[in-house]
A = this chain, B = another copy of it.
Amino acid sequence: MPKKIRLGIIGGGGDSLIGVLHRVASFINDNYEIVGAVFNPDYEQNLAFAKEIDVPTDRIYKDFDTLVEEELKLPEDERIQVCSVLTPNFLHFPMAKKLLENGFHVICEKPMTMNYEEAKTLQEVYERSGRVFALTHTYTGYPMVRQMREMIKDGALGKIHKVDARYYQGWINTVIHDKEKRSTVWRLDPKKAGISSCIGDIGVHASNLIEYTTGLKIKSVLCDFNYLYDDNQMDVDGTVLIRMDKHVKGVVRASQVATGEENGLAIAIYGEKGAFRWEQEKPNFLYKMSDTEPLQVYKPGHAYNSELSLKASKIPAGHPEGIFDSMANIYLGAARAIRGEAYNDGEFPTMKDGVRGMNFIESTVASHKQGNVWVNLD
C-alpha cells in the first residue's frame, strides 16, 4: 500500500528555480509529502517561505544540523525519510554524507561533490549506509531518453561506433564579457564553484547521458577549454575527445558562451545497424536513423515504446510533458527504491553516476592543464 514518503528539503527557498523544480517533481506522482525543511539559511525567510507555500512550520528548522538532530528524536514512522539537498555546490558533500550516516535517504542535486576525492568518500559512506541515493541528472527522466536506452540495450543499433554529445548555452555571456563581473561572480571563482564551470555544470550532463543511453563507459578524455579572457580562471567552453569501452570514439562539446543557445543538450549515437538523435529542447521527439530505411520519429505514450519509457509518461501521445515531468520520473524511481520495491537500473541516477561524473570532470581539467593530452578515467 503506497503511503506518501516523508520528504525534507534543504535549500530551494524563495525564488529558487531548483526549488520549484524539485518541489513540483515530488508532488507529481502523489508519492511525497514535505514534512520538514530548511529552505533558507535565514530563519525568518525560511519560515516565511514555508508559510508562503503552506508547509506546516513546526518542522521548519533553523539550520541543517538542527534538522538532523531534531528529526532523529522523532519516532521512525514520523521522521523524514528522505532529504532533497538543493544547497550551493560545496554543501552537497557534507550534507549528503551526514544524512546517509544518520540513516536518511538522499536526493541530491548535482554536482554531487566538489571533487573526485569527496565523491569516492561519499560512495563508501553510501555503500555502508544501505540507504537510497538519487542524483538528479534530470535529463535521464525523459521518456524518449529512456526509450533510447532500452532500444540500445535491446540491440537496435548493433555495435556502437561513434557518439556525439553537445550541451550549449549562452547565458554566461552577460557575465564573462564584463571585466568587473567575471572577476567577482561566484560562478567563476574556483574556490566557490569548484574546479570547472562549463564541464562541471553542463558538460557532465552530456557525458552522463552518453553513458546512460549506451551502457558504455568513458575510458579516457582529451580536452581543450576556452577561458576567453586571460584574467578568467574558469572554463566557459570546452571540447572533449572521448574514448569509450569497445573502441568507441566520440566527442562531448559544452559551452556557456554559445550565444543564443538556451539549454541545448543533444546527443547522437551511431551504430552498425542504426542511430539515434535526441534534443532536450524538443524532448518528445526521438529520431531513429538508418542507412536503408526512412527515418523514424518515436514519441512518448505509444504502445511501441518500452516499459521503462511508457512508465515515464502520464497521458496520451501528443500532450507534451516537459522537464518537471522528467524530474518527477526521477523522484518516482527514487520513491520505488525508498519503499523497497523492485526497480529498473534506469529509473534514477545513483551514486555511481555521481562518482563517474566527478571522475570525468577532474579528468577533463587535468587534460587541459597538462596541454591537451589523454587522461584516463578510473
Contacts and interface: CB of A to CB of B under 8 A. Distances in A.
Interface residues of A, number: 89
A171 B291 contact: yes
A255 B248 CA distance: 13
A299 B291 contact: no
Chain multiplicity (copies)? 4
Interface in A2-30: 2-4, 17, 20-21, 23-24, 27-28, 30
Interface string A259-302: 11111100010111111000011111000111111111111001
A291 to B, nearest CB: 5
Given A51-B1, A270-B257, A299 B294 contact: yes
B253 A224 contact: no
Contacts of A260: 270, 274-275, 288-291, 295
16 contacts: A17-B314, A161-B228, A161-B237, A161-B259, A177-B272, A239-B249, A260-B295, A262-B317, A280-B320, A288-B294, A293-B296, A294-B298, A296-B297, A315-B323, A319-B322, A320-B322
Given A23-B30, A177-B272, A259-B290, 13 more contacts: A2-B54, A21-B315, A24-B27, A24-B28, A170-B289, A239-B250, A255-B270, A259-B289, A261-B318, A263-B319, A292-B302, A294-B296, A295-B297
